[in-house]
Amino acid sequence: MGALSSSTIFRKVAMALSGLFLMIFLLQHFLINITSVFSADVFNQLSHFMGTNPLVQFVLQPILIGGVIFHFLMGFVLEWQNNRARGTKYAVFKGSANASWMSRNMLISGATVLAFLALHFYDFWVPEIKHKYIDFLPEDPNRYHAELVHKFEDLVRVLIYVVSFFFLSLHLLHGFASSFQSMGINNKYTPLIKSFGKLYAVGIPLGFAFIAIIHFLNH
Amino acid sequence: MKLTLIIWRQQNASAKGGMQTYTLDDVSPDMSFLEMMDVLNEQLMGQGIDPVAFDHDCREGICGSCSMFINGEAHGPDRLITTCQLHMRKFKDGDTIHIEPFRAKPFPVIKDLVVDRTAFDRIQHAGGFVSVNTSGNTQDANSLPIEKQAADKAFDAAACIGCGACVASCKNASAMLFVSAKVSQYALLPQGQVEATDRVLNMVKQMDEEGFGNCTNTGACEVECPKGISLENIARMNREYLTANLKG
């Protein structure tokens, strides 16, 4: 394990696996949130299940938070190591000539998403934990939709969310297909993976932005 | 053409270097880039200035010696070529050209534009070979039937000339394209199977010890590679490496 943890390839595979795990979570998060646009009851039922199920609360949630922390810490470690590997910087470096902006700036898009996550946790996760595990308030299965809509009554918050989703999209546009390449998957299915990755990278953040905007417009 | 050349000058490995500006008149668009450098050096020597040191050997895109970073790109603004195959017709009269050595911590500058790329040799020594008894009992390679597709891919990987453009172009100074080409050319052939596990483990270990960066799949290496080595090789090396670790 020691040899593995010091290997560049192992670090990349770990980054890819944590990224894929977070992308699966993101899809699940989106599928639940989109119901808030169509049915307050369905959204409340799903949110109540996720908020009270012990498996979700005490097993999946810590794994998810661990995955987020690992992905970001590893991202910063890789960036630090990569900067060291260059040594003296070039006077002129034309990165745009041979690589996309997204692939060259994963730290910028990732750090923006990280900053957004801090706000998102402050908006939803912290009040939820306080409600359940600090104040021990009685559980109301119908409170979730109203709380969600209330958050998106603020235009500034909606704008911050939309900009963050744009950076999330940039991050995923490189990250999705890149994670398969890191795991050694580059074959006849790669064009399909890249196409699906683009669809996912644009579709999911766009969907999240749609949810925030529609609740703002409807309040 | 009249050109302004801004070139990295460094007296030796331990000296502090810097960019120096020179002007060069009457550059023919038919000259190769290295011929232009030869003309510059003649001019500098005539002025009593130390000529610019740069690597070159075959001057036909095979040896991989010429290692310049020209206007922000390894081997300059063209594709599938080395610097010796770059011609001055790619530039315009009055252009300013920045010329720097390949930059990476494992490629220290020896002088001016010459860098020490023996890190690549050490990676090769770690496993980029097939141990064959050559005492007269060597089997004829043609007696081993090899699927055409595998043979073609192995040959494509073997086209790597170890120039280091992949490292120079990568924003992380990663050597994964070079190492993966050397791993792949054997991984695809039956002759390479016996030592496959040790090869990939030892070569990746050496690559990491040399201090190259992590691959972040930007694809810059593939674009700038003069021999068109594909990213597919990096994925293959990753598979080989993970499999080798599972085998223990």
Q: How many CB pairs under 8 A join A and B?
A: 141
Whether A92 sits inside 8 A of B223 (CB atoms) is no
**Which of A10, A81, A99 is nearest residue B219 as measured by Cβ atoms?**
A99
Residue of A nearest to B8 (CA): A91
Q: Are B224 and B81 in contact (CB under 8 A)?
A: no
Contacts of B205 in chain A (CB under 8 A): 3, 7
Q: Does the pLDDT value for residue A1 go beyond 80?
A: no
Its ipTM equals 0.93
The CATH architecture that domain A2-218 belongs to is Up-down Bundle (1.20)
Domain boundaries B3-111, CATH class? alpha beta
Using CB atoms within 10 A of its CB, is residue A114 exposed (0-12), middle (13-18) or buried (19+)?
middle
**Which of B19, B216, B223 is nearest residue A98 as measured by Cβ atoms?**
B223
Region of residue B99 (phi > 0: left; psi between -120 and 50: alpha; otherwise: beta): beta
Q: Which residues of A166-201 are buried (b: 16+ CB within 10 A; e: fewer)?
A: ebbbbbbbbbbbbbbbbbbbbeeebeebbeebeebb
Digitized pLDDT (tens) for each residue of chain B, 248 residues in all? 999 999 999 999 999 999 999 999 999 999 999 999 999 999 999 999 999 999 999 999 999 999 999 999 999 999 999 999 999 999 999 999 999 999 999 999 999 999 999 999 999 999 999 998 778 877 787 888 999 999 999 999 999 999 999 999 999 999 999 999 999 999 999 999 999 999 999 999 999 999 999 999 999 999 999 999 999 999 999 999 999 999 87
- Identify the H or E element spanning A32: helix A8-38
Whether B208 sits inside 8 A of A7 (CB atoms) is yes
Alpha-carbon span A35 to A49, nearest angstrom:
14
Give domain B117-133+144-247's CATH superfamily: Alpha-helical ferredoxin (1.10.1060.10)
pTM of structure: 0.94
**Which of A82, A98, A183 is nearest residue B172 as measured by Cβ atoms?**
A82
**Domain ranges for chain B:** 3-111, 117-133+144-247
**Domain ranges for chain A:** 2-218
State whether residue B219 sits within 8 Å of chain A by CB: yes
**Distance, in angstroms, between B26 CA and closest chain A CA?**
25
Q: Does the pLDDT value for residue A37 go beyond 70?
A: yes
Give residue for tokens 């994963």.
A106
Region of residue A30 (phi > 0: left; psi between -120 and 50: alpha; otherwise: beta): alpha
Interface of A with B (CB under 8 A): 3-4, 6-13, 78, 81-82, 84-95, 97-100, 103-104, 106, 174, 177-178, 181-186
Interface test with A, best of B217, B232, B245 (most A CBs within 10 A): B217
**Which of A8, A87, A100 is nearest residue B215 as measured by Cβ atoms?**
A8
Note the pLDDT tens digit of each residue in A161-201. Answer: 999 999 999 999 999 999 999 999 999 999 999 999 999 99
Task: List, as own/partner pairs, every contact residues A143-149 make where C-beta atoms lie below 8 angstroms and the sequence separation is at least 24, other chains included.
Answer: A143/A44, A144/A43, A144/A44, A144/A47, A144/A48, A144/A51, A145/A36, A145/A40, A145/A43, A145/A44, A145/A47, A148/A33, A148/A36, A148/A43, A148/A215, A149/A36, A149/A215, A149/A218, A149/A219
Alpha-carbon span B93 to B105, nearest angstrom:
35
Whether B219 sits inside 8 A of A95 (CB atoms) is no
